Amino acid sequence: MGGKEKVVAAFYPLAFAAQEIGGERVEVENLTPAGAEPHDLEISPRDVRDVREADLVLLLGHGFQPELEKAAGNGDKVLALLDTPSLNRFPNGDPHVWLDPQRYLLIVRQIGSALREKGSTQSLVTRIRALDRDYRSGLAHCARREIVTSHEAFAYLSQRYGLRQVAITGLTPEAEPAPRDLQHVIELVRKTHATTIFFETLVSPRLADTVARETGAKTAVLNPIEGLTPAQAPTAEARQLFCAWHSGSSSRLGARRSSSGRPRRDSAGVPESGISRNGPNSESTRR
């Protein structure tokens, strides 16, 4: 008694929220190791023990991580966040709700009430609202609405901001496309004149490289914020990465920074993204 509340979180976005909200009061363990991606996470006997001993277990549920879900069971201390009311999930079972700030905000509130912390929950909600505004204003006038992504993680984000996701692989990173499907992606990229193929830090860029080579587009990172790299994990700043990633992503997708109150100029004249505001310039970067 009197020690810190032990929270076990299935992967980074849930661990981040628990740490931000619980602060010094909680000890948060992220079950997805650095360098791993969380889909179908394999857990160790030690993880099973930690889950049993935890005061609160945060997971997504609905088969995102079957081994963990089996170990956790469905007792009072287990919070399955895909069951959060009003999440409006897609019928295809897409788990990537945390990439839409407005849906993530509902998840944050659930975690906040499980931790019985009103004030810190509200400050995190305020930061997420700011990200939502950045995306909204920055993506309002794009030359193109298509984003070419590695795995199919950005459907909720795309729906929220009127983008159209063209994914190279399926809902999980291992779902490799058939040659015919890959050809279809390449044709779509050519048709939409997208200039950037996005890849991820935790998944091999091989397929993204192939599409880029075939179409003359360049590649850039668009992180689905599913896990940390080994370099990020031990640093204190890892705690802040969630919002930083979202800010980074919004600018990679063509959003302007809203802090200065005036539009940001792309001084280099080379757009960062396949849906940059600078349509004609984008053309000229294609080989």
In terms of CB distance, is 154 or 215 closer to Zn ion?
A: 154
Burial code (b: 16+ CB inside 10 Å, e: under 16) for 183-197 equals: eebbebbeebbbbbb
157 binds Zn ion (CB under 5 A): no
139 versus 153: smaller Cβ distance to Zn ion? 153
Q: Considering only 6-14, 60-68, 151-159, 258-266, which stretch makes contact with Zn ion by CB under 5 A?
A: 151-159
Say if CB 6 and CB 55 are below 8 A apart: yes
Tell me the closest approach of the beta carbon of residue 71 to Zn ion, in angstroms. 21
Q: Find the part of the chain contacting Zn ion (CB under 5 A) among 150-158, 192-200, 228-236, 246-254.
A: 150-158
The answer to whether the CB of 149 falls within 8 A of the CB of 166 is yes
Give the CB-nearest residue to Zn ion: 153
41 sits near Zn ion (criterion: CB under 5 A): no
By C-beta, is 58 or 153 nearer to Zn ion?
A: 153
Q: How far is the CB of 153 from Zn ion (least distance, A)?
A: 4
In whole angstroms, how close is the CB of 48 to Zn ion at the nearest point? 23
Distance between CA atoms of residues 168 and 205, nearest Å: 11
Q: Does 153 bind Zn ion (CB under 5 A)?
A: yes
Are 218 and 285 spatial neighbours (Cβ–Cβ below 8 Å)? Answer: yes
The CB-of-173 to Zn ion minimum distance in angstroms stands at: 6
Distance CA 243, CA 248 (A): 8
Closest C-alpha to 20, from 115, 101, 94: 115
**Tokens 């914020």, residue located:** 225
- CA neighbor of 274 nearest in space, from 185, 189, 152: 189
Nearer to Zn ion, 51 or 153 (CB): 153
Kindly state the tokens that stand for 176: 């490799």
**Residues near Zn ion, by CB under 5 A:** 153
